[in-house]
Amino acid sequence: MCKTCGCAAGTQQLWLEVSQNEQSTGLQRLYADLIGAPGVLQVTTDEKSGQVTIDFNPQSTSQQELEQRVMQSGYAMTGAEIRTPAHQHSISGFFKKLLGQ
């Protein structure tokens, strides 16, 4: 954790594009399966595009373990990419992220 602002510095972000599973529950089941995984800090899903963003601690879990969990939940991945989450120290950066700007 960053001593300056308390953000989760040192984390990684896994962006996935997934296809819907057969149960047509959308991404709710995948969200529930991922959010409880060791090392996962945050999960963001977009139902329309099928995109999932996972902020995780690479010391607690790996990209391969997260991808395996996605497949075990009944989803197929059509794209995957590791990203570095934005690191912002200002309160205005927090509000921009909060408001989605």
Pairing state of beta strands 51-56 and 12-19? antiparallel
Can you give the pLDDT at residue 15? Answer: 94
Q: Are 29 and 23 in contact (CB under 8 A)?
A: yes
- pLDDT attached to residue 40: 92
Q: Are 16 and 1 in contact (CB under 8 A)?
A: no
Domains of the chain, with CATH numbers? 12-99 (3.30.70.100)
Rounded Cα gap, residues 48 and 83, in angstroms: 21
pTM of the model: 0.73
**CB atoms closer than 10 angstroms to residue 39:** 17
Q: What is the pLDDT of residues 37-47, one digit of tens each?
A: 999 989 999 98
Q: What pLDDT does 44 receive?
A: 92
Q: What is the pLDDT of residue 21?
A: 61
45-92 pLDDT tens trace: 998 888 999 999 899 999 999 999 999 988 899 899 988 776 655 555
